[in-house]
Amino acid sequence: MKLVYSDQYDLHLGAHVFPSQKYRLVKEKLLQAGAVKAEDFLEPEPASDEDVALVHEREYIRKLRTGTLSFEEILRMEVPYSPELVRGVWLAAGGSMLAGRRALSDGTAVNIGGGFHHAFPGHGEGFCALHDVAIAIRRLQKDKLIARAMTVDLDVHQGNGTAAIFHDDPTVFTFSMHQQNNYPNPKPPSSLDINLPDGVRDEEYLDLLRESLDEIVLKFRPDIIFYLAGADPFWDDQLGGLRLSMEGLLARDRMVFDKARNIPVAVTLAGGYARRLEDTVAIHAQTIQAARDPRPSVELE
């Protein structure tokens, strides 16, 4: 299994609540633990502007490229504009495209980055400037490598950009299981939304996920699944209100790979804002280890 990574995924945001240094730390943790080798990593090329335009409006692309976003547009994005941001998000989009292609050939691949599911065709929001997963799906469809795709979004926040981009598109099934009383508001409808009340714990979460995946994967039969493996359902996340444990999140990951039923899975890491950065890094690292070790899903007592 290949891991897609670039040092430029780190936007060097300093004390910002979005810890973009987590990508580098995940890579380091995996290497130090001996879970992966240096040759397992692939360096992405940035998406082309033509790739990005498969999803995003050309005027928005121009503003990002030229640094002419308005103050309000930058405020809505919630991360400071910089050339590093532009390089990073174009690379993340290229990374998800590469992860999608490698998943089709290898069965599973991971982009250590991406999952920017709040980006809309004409604006960014919620720390997301470009929707890398949507760009990857559209490029795979354009190249006729796939016809049908599914997004399995298990970030604590609903994938509003994903829902809006693929609204009424029968070739893409969008599934989001998230905390209801949390950003974003409003939530445009996905193909299937599971709106969770505050404080949901492992057992209830896993039961709902199992039921949902059993139904939608068998009915839709996608050619590829893009799994947005957010770390923020964790009980000590600063921006979340669910109560999943580390063990519950590992069981979640294993369940997704198990229920995929031999459908290729491309993983992006999405959100994660634990009070202790090392917890976010550990959650992301165990997602990658679960991808490498597709044992049957763990049943928690």
Residue 166 included in any domain: yes
- Cα 181 to Cα 185, 195, 227: the distances in Å are 9, 8, 22
Give the predicted TM-score (pTM) of the model.
0.96
Segment 248-286, tens digit of pLDDT: 999 999 999 999 989 999 999 999 999 999 999 999 999
Query: Which H or E run contains 172?
Result: strand 172-179
Q: How confident is the model at residue 300 (pLDDT cuts 50, 70, 90)?
A: very low
In a domain, 296, yes or no: no
Residues of the chain above pLDDT 70, percent? 97
Q: Which residues are CB-neighbours of 179 under 8 A, at least 6 positions away?
A: 156, 157, 195, 196, 197, 198, 200, 233, 240, 241, 242
Please give the angle made by the CA atoms of 147, 128 and 224, to the nearest 5 degrees.
Answer: 20
pLDDT at residue 44 above 60? yes
Is 301 inside any structural domain?
no
Residue 299 lies in a domain: no
Domain total in the chain: 1
Q: Tell me: the pLDDT tens digits for 109-129? A: 999 999 999 999 999 999 999
- Residue 242 clears pLDDT 50, i.e. is over it: yes
Look-up: residue for tokens 């354009």?
142
Per-residue pLDDT, 15: 87
pLDDT, one tens digit per residue, over 13-41 is 988 999 999 999 999 999 999 999 999 99
Give the pLDDT of residue 294: 61
pLDDT computed for residue 261 by the predictor: 87
Q: Which CATH number is 153's domain given?
A: 3.40.800.20
Report if residue 71 sits inside a domain: yes
Cis before residue 197, ω within 30 degrees of 0?
no
In tens, the pLDDT along 75-112 reads 999 999 999 999 999 999 999 999 999 999 999 999 99
Q: Looking up tokens 């559209």, which residue turns up?
A: 138
What pLDDT does residue 297 have? 42
Range of the domain at 258: 2-289
pLDDT at 293: 82
pLDDT class of 298 with cuts at 50, 70, 90: very low
pLDDT(295) > 70: no
Q: Does 8 reside within a domain?
A: yes
In this prediction, residue 31 carries a pLDDT of 96
Quick one: pLDDT at residue 301? 35
The three-point CA angle 130-234-196 to 5° equals: 80
Pairing of strands 265-268, 108-111: parallel
Residue 68 lies in a domain: yes
CA-derived radius of gyration, the chain = 17
- Report yes or no on 298 lying in a domain: no
Residue 296 has pLDDT above 70, yes or no: no
165-217 pLDDT, tens digit each: 999 999 999 999 999 999 999 999 999 999 999 999 999 999 999 999 999 99
Work out the angle at residue 254's Cα, subtended by the Cα atoms of residues 230 and 219, and round it to the nearest 5 degrees.
Answer: 90
